[in-house]
Structure 1
Amino acid sequence: MKKLVLIALVFVMAQVHAQNNVEWDGKYQLQLSDFQSNATQIGAVKINSMHTASSLDFAFQMSNVEFMFTKNFNAKVISSFKRNAASIIATDSITAKYLLNFAQYEFDLSELYARKLRKEIYDKKGTFSDVSFLQVLFNSIQQHYTEDHAMASKNTNLGQEEEKLAAIHSAVLQKINELPDFCKSCKPPKKPNKLFN
């Protein structure tokens, strides 16, 4: 009986985690209902603010031998949106829509940089590469992602300048399409192995 309860509890926890986390798939469009933080409020406020909780994550666990012979790390780099950490604070529903559009842009931007990281790893990892080079790649990609996000936020007034946001967003989607071999579940074409990095 105890095992059955434990199994049911683990299943429920897995379901809650899956419902909270939205992984980028190119189809899902964020909704206001995805901003489930208690801080979310539309109307009766004097400020506009948004925390999208889009993130670019990279983690893996493998032996040295596995690492040596692994070339494709696509599945280890994840672009996701965490509903319970996401908030929109807006003075009215029109502003909330601008913020939502900016949040979708940011979610797509995180996937673009996930693909750039996957490609960098694929292109630069040799058989005898040291694992430490991955941190350098991740830090560089993360910095560029943060800079692009900050510039878009500034240049579009956090999405309120719709035409500017639409142009920037369109460019991001185009760049994603230019990296089709580097989606999370994709297998890039095989290339000769680089023995030394």
Structure 2
Amino acid sequence: MAAHERRFDPHKRALLLDPARWAKWDPPRLLAVLHLQPGETVVDLGCGPGFWTFPLAELVGPDGIVWALDVSPEMLEALLDRQPPPWVRPLRSELPRIELPDASVDAAWGAFIAHEVEPLDALMRELHRVLRPGGRVGFLDWRPDAVHEEGPPRDHRLPPGIVRQALEAAGFHILPTDWQHEDAYLIRALRPLHAP
């Protein structure tokens, strides 16, 4: 199956902003794992209409930058319709490609997108390229053994071990996390300051 067949349908984008979704995922609490500081640069991978983009923008503040990356013009238009702050910069790009310069980003966040990207290894190499040494990555994705039925078909989902392996193969160091959820998993990683 082609990667584009796994993508979230842009016509259903209103579902991504459902208040019940905010209550379930609590973006400020989850995004705290990135340890973002005011003035930093972060990329929101597969930003959609901005569910994670807006809380990321609050964390980095007006001296920071949030690159809101999506392949869908409809998603980026929906984001802009919500009038994000000026330090949110829309970026149309098709993952695994990230159209940003080398070592230009402090952190990257990918919520429910790892299962959509092929080849996954290429995405991790791109993240390693665009992140500065010491840069942080957070991936939130659907568990294949999730309790509830929301999310993509179970045969589209990736076990967390696959995502961890792809990160490690690209040179990332996996960080511990104690976050647990019945429907999703969270993986944190760091681009080491020095190559091994």
Q: TM-score, normalised by structure 1?
A: 0.25
Which structure has greater helix proportion?
Answer: 1
Which structure has greater strand proportion?
Answer: 2
Q: TM-score, normalised by structure 2?
A: 0.26
Bigger radius of gyration? 1
